Structure 1
């Protein structure tokens, strides 16, 4: 029969045990007295009186001792009862598990937290009350405890009897005494659901504040750019009416339009899915050197390099990662207005699951760590949590659009690459930004690999978009590049034109399909229909939703290339160039 834990036994049970011991002791005393009574025969009266006196004295001593024992027993009983009450009704749950994680003892608070009777806890595996998603957390925690004599804690979700999970903090201490098989674990369980919810509310409020700051910054910057564009177009129109050259006004409007497009790309880094990203094997040393030179050109800031030759390979979008590195180095440079030294180092690091789960959901554990350190003014403890907020800046705003977005853009780009960024800063000492980029396990494609032969490109193109003005502009651009163009304003019209051209023996060489058509078939659905007519048609997807999966991973959706809006003539020219150099499918 299993032993009943001390704290689970009732005071009545202890009283019965004490009475049983008292009865047994009296029987032993009577037996001893009977055996000694014969020795009193033949004693004189004086001797008997002396013996009686001694017995009375011993009796009084025994009575006094018995009273002391009784008082001590009462104190022990009260202390035990108080301990049981404190244990059972403590503000946190307590339990003891053995080396197999079976519950050996538990208090009433734990039973109440889990919504069960205490008796149903004893002898049960503690894992039964841990949510399935968090089982690994506890087992890893338990393995650490069995190899340590220190108190360790973790946070996970426990399951109430009604099926509702709740967040709990576990404070665990191993007990290596009296167990040959392994340590017992003493566990204190605290319900932290309220504090977790408070943290969520604080985070939500922080996000709302950041969103408001971002919205205000967007409105400010775009209004300025629209003013430049609209004002210069109006001036150009007046110049033309007056017979004056309009080149300068149009160039100013063009430059402002490019700035607006660049600003849009920055905003897209904060949207779900991030920016359009094309990864390839990158020489990291060269990328770091180029980015640092762009940031520090013409300044009195120098770089101390520490880049080993055995850095692991990594696959990056070189243009985007360069932007992230430029932003970080620029931030370091601006922290030292009087000049100074920036230290840039790199190393291969392998992170434990516990380490990378603090920052990233990336299952990889091998990273290249880049460290960029300055000797600048540093960032205060109050401002440090805000440095990655869009439009947050301790610098005075100037003419640059998107100021204050440098570190937030860098963080978004690095996160999209499966990495993470961290910053440590001390006032009047400096800051260190650490960037972790996942190492690539994919082998680099050899440049000597035989390539398929080039297929001659038919410059007859079908253009589908539901925006008439956009179709007209793209049509003119394609015509200027020597293409024959047919327009379709809907998916149904595009399928019909494509089918008719195929039947007439004058097929299209490529199609440009808008991903989203209001009230009709979009590019993805249209392509499925076109594939039934010509399985090898080269389709280019275009959209203003540049974070859409079909744009970010166009090849997985069957598209040959992607054309992001807004686009200009040179963008279409690059697409046509890639189509002209297309290889025959294997």
Structure 2
């Protein structure tokens, strides 16, 4: 951006040139005084000619310097006009504020953003154009940069003259370089950006919900696996009660024993339903948990399928860190990764099948590594499996599992999800920051 030249600065520069010319004129006078005696009538024609020549040279020098001064003045005025045009027509609003928050100067874009003329902005408090609900945001923001010469920024809602609201990005720098009592403020209209950002968040939530629903069929199958053995046990107890009744051996002790067994089984089945229902309940409050708790919760839901397929899951937990998080989101990530490992193991008919999970605290992060012996990810698709709707499972896959898992870890946990192959299978590495 062109350097700013105010009227006072231009006058100062012109005054500097005048001082230079005055100084040079005084120097000439001194030199002429040294050349000429007190009585000019005593000069010879040759001396008079020499002094006259010197005067001509100095006159030419002054004329050249004067021309240079005029040229410089023209350039300064042209630069000032260019700056004024750039300043006024810039795509963002520029304001100069006093320490008290009064607008001292504003460009055309700022005036247009705020819905008033430039002249009417002068001496107006900037807070007049900040939405009442966001005044605290500006107060804290102003307090922050009031004690620093660094650039600071914030997002808040502003209001144009007439009541139209818009989202603004403010960036201010202290004017210490020129005037310690002023701030330079840049105002950008980011309404469209904020709307797109919010729409993206909504889309992400929709995709996460779609991912959960897409897994519903498989989860219902898992409920069947979880309930198959308890239902068989209930059938056997029911049959035992009937036989004892027919044989006349159904005494109080047998009824009490059967009641205790049935009650325990029904509680287990009810807890299974709760686990699945909680998984599908959106917007649950944050809980303070350890990572292994979320992992165990995932295994409660899908563990029976692993047992039925003889897939051993080994957990080595070395973490003592508590996280205040939405547990179900992390449970969903673990379920997606574990199901991918199960699919690879089944597809390659691996026996014995195993998944090793380690959880370690490293300085300010916790790292969870899940490695299977399912043969690994083909190198040709290693960099594609995290893309949305990319699947290797044919019609039974949605292609959202890893993409949603990566989105959850990055957006909700400020972490990372990566993967690589080891000699026996695939490894997935989740890194979670302790300062969520």
Listed as ranges, the matches of 1:358-397 within 5 Å are: 372-375=368-371, 394=391, 396=393
Partner of 1:291: 297
Q: 2:158·2:166 contact (CA, 8 Å) conserved in 1?
A: yes
Q: What CA deviation, in whole Å up to 9, does each residue of 1:133-180 have, x standing for no partner? A: 333333333444455554443322222111111122233334443666
In the alignment, is residue 302 of structure 1 matched against residue 300 of structure 2? no
**Closer/same/farther in 2, CA of residues 431 and 142 from structure 1, 3 Å limit:** farther
> Which of 166, 191, 194 in structure 2 is aligned with 1:193?
191
**Closer/same/farther in 2, CA of residues 65 and 304 from structure 1, 3 Å limit:** same
Cα distance in structure 1, aligned partners of 2:11 and 2:209: 68
Partner of 2:416: 424
Cα distance in structure 1, aligned partners of 2:139 and 2:149: 17
**Closer/same/farther in 2, CA of residues 341 and 176 from structure 1, 3 Å limit:** farther
Cα distance in structure 2, aligned partners of 1:434 and 1:268: 23
Q: What CA deviation, in whole Å up to 9, does each residue of 1:497-523 have, x standing for no partner? A: xxxxxxxxxxxxxxxxxxxxxxxxxxx
Q: 1:397·1:403 contact (CA, 8 Å) conserved in 2?
A: no
Cα distance in structure 2, aligned partners of 1:120 and 1:52: 61
In the alignment, is residue 344 of structure 1 matched against residue 350 of structure 2? no
TM-score by length of 2: 0.56
Partner of 1:454: none
Q: 2:315·2:358 contact (CA, 8 Å) conserved in 1?
A: yes
Post-superposition offset of 1:202 = 5.3
Post-superposition offset of 1:78 = 0.9
TM-score by length of 1: 0.44
SS at match of 2:311: coil
Equivalent pairs counted in the alignment come to 348
SS at match of 1:80: helix
Cα distance in structure 1, aligned partners of 2:159 and 2:361: 44
Q: 1:380·1:426 contact (CA, 8 Å) conserved in 2?
A: no
Post-superposition offset of 1:102 = 3.5
In the alignment, is residue 331 of structure 1 matched against residue 333 of structure 2? no
Partner of 2:140: 140
SS at match of 1:374: strand
Structural RMSD (CA): 5.9
**Closer/same/farther in 2, CA of residues 287 and 216 from structure 1, 3 Å limit:** closer
Unaligned segments of structure 1, at least 5 residues: 1-5, 226-257, 350-368, 387-391, 413-419, 439-586
Q: 1:155·1:167 contact (CA, 8 Å) conserved in 2?
A: yes
**Closer/same/farther in 2, CA of residues 177 and 326 from structure 1, 3 Å limit:** closer
Cα distance in structure 2, aligned partners of 1:135 and 1:190: 17
In the alignment, is residue 78 of structure 1 matched against residue 78 of structure 2? yes
SS at match of 1:42: helix
Cα distance in structure 1, aligned partners of 2:100 and 2:334: 53
Partner of 1:165: 165
Q: What CA deviation, in whole Å up to 9, does each residue of 1:216-274 have, x standing for no partner? A: 8879999xx9xxxxxxxxxxxxxxxxxxxxxxxxxxxxxxxx9xx8899379624xx76
Unaligned segments of structure 2, at least 5 residues: 224-269, 346-352, 421-426
Partner of 1:455: none
